[in-house]
Structure 1
Amino acid sequence: MAGAVEPGELALDLELAEKTAFRTLGCLLYGMGRAADGVFWWRIAAQYGDQLAVHCLAVHYTAEGERCDAARWAAQAQDLSAPGRLPELAPDVRPGGAAELARVLAERYDGEILLTVREAVAARPTADPGRLGVRAVRGRGVVRIR
């Protein structure tokens, strides 16, 4: 049958799509000022081996002054990609600019989705959006999602 996809190929495509979606969601939430939620989704994407999510985590923890976590994620980032890849991915970002890094990466790699979400958020009524839920983030305790 022409155009048939092998099950293994399909599984690889789904895994790539999932980790990209997790990273994108992390960038969107982080860029909207919901850093804890963004970090949560970056961690999931990083568990799937997403290089950009690992870099985002390393920069975030560096900016937060959490040296131990920053060093761990930076070491993992070097394992996943060649040293110096982060400046290649986001050359306009200055060191310590975690929020700016998240924005640059989101716009550069997931820009269309970011703009769509920003438009949706801007169009949302200003009434209380309600509570979406509560979840636990490993090492961070309970995080309230609004």
Structure 2
Amino acid sequence: MTTPSNCLYSFRRCPYAMRARLAILFAGLQVELREVTLKNKPAQMLAISPKGTVPVLLLADGAVIQESRDIMVWALEQQDPQGLLDATVLDQANALIEQNDNEFKYWLDRYKYADRHVEMTQTEYRQRGEGFLRVLEALLESRAYLLGD
């Protein structure tokens, strides 16, 4: 008899699903990965997460985690070999994630789909998004990784 495993519903190009997968990788955990076609979402995923977005983590005990940041925290609480939940690292990581998810993603979507967002030109949308990229570049000028050496 096999023991039930944790199961991650994911989509390879979704940045939020990527973030969840990376946290699981950094934590050294194994999960069953179920790659989802967003145009044909599996009924099993919709049954546990009716909102129909990825990532969704179904834990072996039946609990469901539906947000990438929550999946990240769950994974690192299981095992955090790189100390990513350290308060100083976590504060900086959360600030970068907030800026990425709220500011950068907004401008990136408008840049990618400028034909749908005609209020500005594609170049103007790109320039707005470049502000966050400059923040990341500045961090990488002074250290090997975004959150330290």
TM-score between both structures, scaled by the size of structure 2: 0.27
TM-score between both structures, scaled by the size of structure 1: 0.27
Considering fraction of residues, name the structure with more helix.
Answer: 1
Tell which structure's C-alpha radius of gyration is larger: 2
